[in-house]
Chain A
Amino acid sequence: MMATAGLRRALWQRVAARLWAAPPGARAASGMSKDMLPGPYPRTPEERAAAAKKYNMRVEDYQPYPDDGFGYGDYPMLPNKSHHERDPWYQWDQQDLRHNWGEPMHWDFDMYIRNRVDTSPTPVPWHIMRKHFLIFLGTMLVMFAVGEIYPSYRPVGPKQYPFNDLYLERGGDPNKDPPVVIHYEL
């Protein structure tokens, strides 16, 4: 009887352990004690070591934000690399966020998720991209301006009026001979 009860408890524990959403050791955010929360800027090496341990990092990797009054405290300054650069084939604990449980998150992590900024290296260097794009855009704008100055149209000529350029209608003297206007060449 006791053996089956113990066996059932072990089986339930295995089931609970398999629930990846709440692995053993998971805590709710409400159950944090004061020493788990971020604190002031670490000034002594012991404080730095304690802060590194708190953030689950190695002391060599731990680098806080500079103490310039912006209120970062002892939060680690992680490299500004977006989640696009993380290995898509590695089996992360959270595959869509490409994040492992317990890994320190960037201060601006919501900027670096896969739906936002991409900092991954481009195939073409940045200055070449900028140069080529600006050359393209500049050429287009200049050529459009040139095209406005020299537009394209069907061949046109000045309007030709009959009756010797409307000599009488324009108030010419009917008694005099009008100057002959011929609009053709033979």
Chain B
Amino acid sequence: MEPALLINTLMILTLLVILTPILLPLLSKTMKTTPTLITHTTKTAFIISLAPMSLFMWTNTESITSYWELKFIMTFKIPLSFKFDQYSMMFFPIALLVTWSILQFATWYMHLEPHITKFFSYLSMFLIAMLTLTAANNMFLLFIGWEGVGIMSFMLIGWWYGRADANTAALQAVLYNRIGDIGLILTMAWLALTSNTWEMQTCPTHMQTLPLLGLILAATGKSAQFGLHPWLPAAMEGPTPVSALLHSSTMVVAGIFLLIRTHYMLETNQLALTLCLCLGALSTLFAATCALTQNDIKKIIAFSTSSQLGLMMVTIGLNLPQLAFLHISTHAFFKAMLFLCSGSIIHNLNGEQDIRKMGNLQKMLPTTTSCFTIGNLALMGTPFLAGFYSKDVIIENLNTSYLNTWALLLTLLATAFTATYSMRMTLMVQTGQTRTNPAIMMDENNPSITQPLTRLTLGSIMAGLLITSYITPTSISPMTMPTLTKTAAMTTTMMGLILALELSTLTHNFYHPKQTPYMNFSSSLGYFNPLTHRLNITKLLNNSQKIATHLVDLSWYKKMGPEGLTDFQLKLTKTSTILHTGLIKTYLTSFALSTLIILSTQ
């Protein structure tokens, strides 16, 4: 049978299958959604999406399909055109597997939640928006998916809306994403004006720098690069399944995915590529520095995500979009797993998220902590686990390319820091003496916990090997380099590990810990949050208050309204009164005289 037809049908079927739990209850009176139904639907969709992926792997068939157009008026329409290429066909099964595992985990994690069905519906809607974004062939459909994931992120971060901190975090996420959206809309407007199209195929390859800057701004906002990054650590206010799905595997990679989709436009502009490289390097180092001194387990993993997103941006800057996508795929597995493990730990410790109050969990939660270890090893780039196939290749390409030296150094330093904070987290959570509350019931024997974790562990181990074995790279990685360059990634990781082990022995020495400027800088997240938020928001809100209330009200009352009219009238009257000299007799005499003169000359 025609592979392109099969691919089209099966991919659309996947999307429709995920839509059913949301649409069918609206159409039927008796059908009700349940969390297990949504979980099983996602599992079904995953299995269906494996077929197009296998078809692509074996036949290398890609397809671009234009379905339906939702025509509102003659010139405004929403074209449903999908691009089922390497990126979307690989991303669908990965995203669906990760989502299935997270949904199964959430049936345990959120089981005491009264509105659990609404929670699952929100996650489901997010998944639909994300898959739309991934499969979109034109910028408008991508924008619909983009905004969709942004809104669902807002609703899910602020899930516990009674908590003011969660509301602030959700608002932060939406505002920072909006700033990024300015860039995306700028690019879309530019494309519409110059090339009259939003389709990916017909977009020009040689673009001016301004629309490319718009795309980079959009990626900075969505993927939390330095400058628009504070929302990602703040997003940890949401429930752990939300953090696992949105803010580690799927939503935050949307920005990088946009740059991958539009890399034809980027690769001819060296300035844009250098900007991506430097921005990514700065983001990865900054996030890794901040992660070193955090004590909340979810915040450490959030900064780890931010750092890996910076690494993906660096890969885009090296003009290697396929490698960036490989890193997205492998990162999804182990990062989601790290979040699920942390969720299991938090729930079993009855809400404790501080790693200083965890210890010796290796004995008490063996499955969770083993998966945690494997996830951390994959993150660090341990040879032949999933992270190795993407991360090591990125570092090799960095070392053998013509690029900014400082970007290279920062990325290598960030690789070392990755090992340091991962090791620190492992040591404090799993080893050492027990620092938890002794009266806690720990139970991880629930299949809703162990099955997702095991599935994602298998993915973390096998995914890198499987994807690199079956997907042909479009560009050849450098094959020959000196031994030092080849082992650079591993060497820096080992140095970071040794640093972490060395620092952990500091607790054995009895000395009073000092507060140094570097420690302050790192633990206050670079002072970025108070400096930008307080200054900008105070100024903005103050000025908007003054303009909206005082300026507008006063101008309407005083200048444009009644008092303004009064002043105007008074001024007119006062000037015209001077002209009235009141010399009536003189006027009459002049009238009479002029009339007499006219009459006498007749």
A-side residues, CB < 8 A to B, are: 70-71, 96, 108, 111, 114-119, 122-124, 128-130, 132-133, 136, 140, 143-144, 146-148, 150-154
Which chain A residues border B553 with CB–CB below 8 Å? 71
Contact between A154 and B400, CB atoms less than 8 A apart: yes
If A117-B534, A133-B526, A136-B526 touch, whether A108 touches B406 (CB-CB below 8 Å) is: no
Kindly provide the distance from the CB of A65 to the nearest chain B CB, expressed in whole angstroms. Answer: 11
A124 to B278, CA, bound (A): 29
From B517, B527, B554, A71 is in contact (CB under 8 Å) with B554
Contact between A144 and B278, CB atoms less than 8 A apart: yes
A133 to B532, CA, bound (A): 11
Which chain B residues border A150 with CB–CB below 8 Å? 405
Which chain A residues border B587 with CB–CB below 8 Å? none
Kindly provide the distance from the CB of B127 to the nearest chain A CB, expressed in whole angstroms. Answer: 28
Kindly provide the distance from the CB of A166 to the nearest chain B CB, expressed in whole angstroms. Answer: 27
Which residue of chain B lies nearest to A152 when distances are taken between CB atoms in the complex?
B405
CB of B197 within 8 A of chain A?
Answer: no
Which residue of chain A lies nearest to B165 when distances are taken between CB atoms in the complex?
A114
A113 to B268, CA, bound (A): 48
Main secondary structure of the interface of B (DSSP, over half): helix
Contact between A114 and B168, CB atoms less than 8 A apart: yes
Which chain B residues border A152 with CB–CB below 8 Å? 402-405, 408
The 5 closest A-B pairs by CB, nearest first: A147-B406, A147-B404, A129-B527, A153-B402, A114-B164
Contact between B164 and A96, CB atoms less than 8 A apart: yes
Query: Other than the known A108-B541, A128-B517, A151-B405, what 10 A-B pairs have Cβ atoms closer than 8 Å?
Result: A116-B537, A117-B534, A117-B541, A123-B524, A133-B531, A140-B282, A147-B406, A151-B402, A152-B404, A154-B400
Interface residues of B in 471-507 (CB under 8 A from A): 481
Pick 13 A–B contacts, CB within 8 A, sort by A: A71-B550, A96-B162, A108-B541, A115-B164, A124-B524, A129-B524, A129-B531, A132-B517, A133-B526, A144-B407, A147-B406, A151-B405, A154-B400
If A70-B554, A71-B553, A114-B164 touch, whether A132 touches B521 (CB-CB below 8 Å) is: yes
A143 to B545, CA, bound (A): 41
Which residue of chain A lies nearest to B550 when distances are taken between CB atoms in the complex?
A70
A148 to B537, CA, bound (A): 35
How many residue pairs between the two chains, A and B, have CB atoms under 8 Å in the bound complex? 88
Which chain B residues border A132 with CB–CB below 8 Å? 517, 520-521, 527
Contact between B526 and A116, CB atoms less than 8 A apart: no
Which chain B residues border A146 with CB–CB below 8 Å? 405-406
A136 to B524, CA, bound (A): 14
A136 to B517, CA, bound (A): 12
Contact between A144 and B406, CB atoms less than 8 A apart: yes
Which chain A residues border B521 with CB–CB below 8 Å? 132, 136
A151 to B517, CA, bound (A): 31
Contact between A151 and B531, CB atoms less than 8 A apart: no
Main secondary structure of the interface of A (DSSP, over half): loop
From B162, B165, B274, B534, A119 is in contact (CB under 8 Å) with B534
Contact between B542 and A115, CB atoms less than 8 A apart: no
Contact between B550 and A147, CB atoms less than 8 A apart: no
CB of B40 within 8 A of chain A?
Answer: no
From B282, B402, B530, A122 is in contact (CB under 8 Å) with B530
A70 to B409, CA, bound (A): 56
Contact with A along B306-349 (1 / 0, CB 8 A): 00000000000000000000000000000000000000000000
Which chain A residues border B538 with CB–CB below 8 Å? 111, 117
Most A CB within 10 A of own CB, among B405, B517, B531, B554:
B405
A117 to B544, CA, bound (A): 14
Most A CB within 10 A of own CB, among B162, B274, B404:
B404
Which chain B residues border A122 with CB–CB below 8 Å? 530
Which chain B residues border A136 with CB–CB below 8 Å? 521, 526
CB of B55 within 8 A of chain A?
Answer: no
A144 to B167, CA, bound (A): 37
If A70-B554, A123-B520, A152-B408 touch, whether A115 touches B527 (CB-CB below 8 Å) is: no
A130 to B402, CA, bound (A): 35
A45 to B72, CA, bound (A): 66
Which chain B residues border A114 with CB–CB below 8 Å? 164-165, 168
A160 to B538, CA, bound (A): 64
Contact between B404 and A116, CB atoms less than 8 A apart: no
Kindly provide the distance from the CB of B172 to the nearest chain A CB, expressed in whole angstroms. Answer: 10
A78 to B404, CA, bound (A): 53
Contact between B274 and A133, CB atoms less than 8 A apart: no
A71 to B542, CA, bound (A): 16
If A130-B531, A140-B282 touch, whether A115 touches B171 (CB-CB below 8 Å) is: yes
Contact between B408 and A133, CB atoms less than 8 A apart: no
Kindly provide the distance from the CB of B3 to the nearest chain A CB, expressed in whole angstroms. Answer: 41
CB of B533 within 8 A of chain A?
Answer: yes
Which chain A residues border B167 with CB–CB below 8 Å? 115
Which chain A residues border B162 with CB–CB below 8 Å? 96
Contact between B531 and A117, CB atoms less than 8 A apart: no
From B171, B527, B541, A133 is in contact (CB under 8 Å) with B527
Contact between B405 and A147, CB atoms less than 8 A apart: yes
A144 to B527, CA, bound (A): 21
CB of B591 within 8 A of chain A?
Answer: no
Which residue of chain A lies nearest to B169 when distances are taken between CB atoms in the complex?
A115
Contact with A along B511-532 (1 / 0, CB 8 A): 0000001001100101110110
A29 to B395, CA, bound (A): 66
CB of B401 within 8 A of chain A?
Answer: yes
Contact between A129 and B530, CB atoms less than 8 A apart: yes
Contact with A along B101-145 (1 / 0, CB 8 A): 000000000000000000000000000000000000000000000
